[in-house]
Amino acid sequence: MNIETLIAQNRLKEAQNLLLNELDKNPNNTANLSLLGQIAMKNQDYSKALNAFNKILSMDPTNHEAIAFISTIRGILSISNSFYFENTYLDDSLYE
């Protein structure tokens, strides 16, 4: 079965295992690294996703897809951090 089909069917673990096997054979395959990064994003494992996309950029600094995914992850992490550390909806008087 094709890896993209597994991802579309949300069979992420199976797709990830196939990708890892393929990457063992050819660790510089940017298409497979991108798919691995996308699976990590779907699993909300942003550090693994960033590692995959940064590896792509180390081989191809102009890879627009990797640049776009990194930008998306930074946006997600920025929103997440601002929610936890700068929640403007908290009323300090509640804690007095």
Report the share of the chain in percent with pLDDT over 90.
74
Question: What are the structural domain ranges in the chain?
Answer: 3-85
Cα–Cα distances (Å) from 57 to 42, 49, 63, in that order, read 20, 13, 6
Confidence of residue 1 (pLDDT cuts 50, 70, 90): confident
Confidence of residue 5 (pLDDT cuts 50, 70, 90): very high
HEC per residue, the chain = CCHHHHHHCCCHHHHHHHHHHHHHHCCCCHHHHHHHHHHHHHCCCHHHHHHHHHHHHHHCCCCHHHHHHHHHHHHHHHHHHHHHHCCCCCCHHHHC
Residue type, 34: S
User: Is residue 17 scored above 80 in pLDDT?
Assistant: yes
Over the stretch 35-50, which tens digit does the pLDDT of each residue have? 999 999 999 999 999 9
What does pTM read for this prediction?
Answer: 0.79
**CATH superfamily name and code, 3-85:** Tetratricopeptide repeat domain (1.25.40.10)
